[in-house]
Amino acid sequence: MTRRARTAVFLVLVLFLEGYALNLFAKESQSPYGPLNDEEKRVIDESGTEQAFTGKYTDLNLMGVYACRKCGAPLYRSDDKFPSRCGWPAFDNELPSAVKRSLDPDGRRTEITCARCGAHLGHVFLGEQLTSRDTRHCVNSICMVFESQDSKRLQRAVFAGGCFWGVEERMKNLPGVVCATSGFTGGRKANPTYKEVCTGRTGHAEAVEIIFDPTKTDYETLCMYFLEIHDPTEKNRQGPDVGTQYRSGIFYLDEAQKKTARKLLKILREKGYNVQTEVEPFRHFWQAERYHQNYYERTGKTPYCHTYQKRF
């Protein structure tokens, strides 16, 4: 092959790869909710603001997850939404690493954007003392899509099985799992700290919230795996961690999850396991402090009390 021919082949290959990359990027950046309309572009792409008290989510009080309108990434959970009477949906916490903060062009406010795609969401305000977290994410409804528990795209599951570091690490890389968050549930105190939960007096269990894509996995698969990465026969402990905060529990968000959990525990009992796992209705998930999120990934350590053992 002549030098000219080799050069022509090289150029064709470069053009092909560039076109493939652009096409791949377009597919990755395409919204699962369809293209933005003109008003959505004005707010999301041009950092605009919808008129106060006009957004469809301002007063919504249902259980679920709020996702980015532009890319579909989960941003907020309904547990962290509160009535601020400001005219826009308000949240006092975001999902770990889901929202980016930066100085607004006006030099006074702090803008919040989707960490995945950069879509404008609104602004965050501190020091207003509206909740115990003293934080208000003021978000445009038009920038989000609410996914309820019966969503075909994003659903939630909550499990407690000892130290949440290990449960989160084992669950987060399963096919279909969008994100896993360490936190607390099943207790009495609002927004408890890790130190408060460690006393055993708040009634909470260390738990992990799973947000998953029901088109790629299902609740039964997740629940079975959860029962195989910790010891469901231990009561109020897991390995070296002892106390009611380390209890084994499945916190169901709907009747279908309740039915599935009870079915799986019945199978284990029929196999001879002395199951101690509690099945409780889910009420509220309190996200743990930032330093607890992705603990093993950040530290490079290995989970010490969560190993896989086939039981089903």
Q: pLDDT of 28-47, one tens digit each?
A: 457 899 999 999 999 999 99
Q: What is the pLDDT along the chain (312 residues), one digit of tens a residue?
A: 565 545 544 443 434 444 444 343 334 457 899 999 999 999 999 999 999 999 999 999 999 999 999 999 999 999 999 999 999 999 999 999 999 999 998 899 999 999 999 999 999 999 999 999 999 999 999 999 999 999 999 999 999 999 999 999 999 999 999 999 999 999 999 999 999 999 999 999 999 999 999 999 999 999 999 999 999 999 999 989 999 999 999 999 999 999 999 999 999 999 999 999 999 999 999 999 999 999 999 999 888 889 999 999
Q: Is 163 a catalytic residue?
A: yes
Contact 182, 175 (CB under 8 A): no
198: annotated active-site residue: no
Where in the chain are the domains?
Answer: 38-148, 155-299
**pLDDT reported for residue 141:** 98
- CB-count burial class (<10 Å; 0-12, 13-18, 19+) for 48: middle
Catalytic residue among 68, 71, 138, 305: 138
Query: Within 10 Å of residue 234's Cβ, how many Cβ atoms?
Result: 20
| pLDDT tens, position by position, 52-83 | 999 999 999 999 999 999 999 999 999 999 99
Q: Which residue in the list 163, 179, 223, 305 is annotated as catalytic?
A: 163
CA angle 230, 233, 236 (to 5 degrees): 85
Q: Is 38 helix (H, G, I), strand (E, B) or coil?
A: helix
What is the model's pTM? 0.88
Report the C-alpha gap between 94 and 92 in whole angstroms: 7
Q: Is the dihedral of CA 284, 71, 35, 44 positive or negative?
A: positive
Q: Which fold has domain 38-148?
A: 2.170.150
Q: Which residues contact 135 (CB under 8 A, 6 or more apart)?
A: 92, 93, 124, 125, 126
The domain at 155-299 falls in which architecture? 2-Layer Sandwich (3.30)
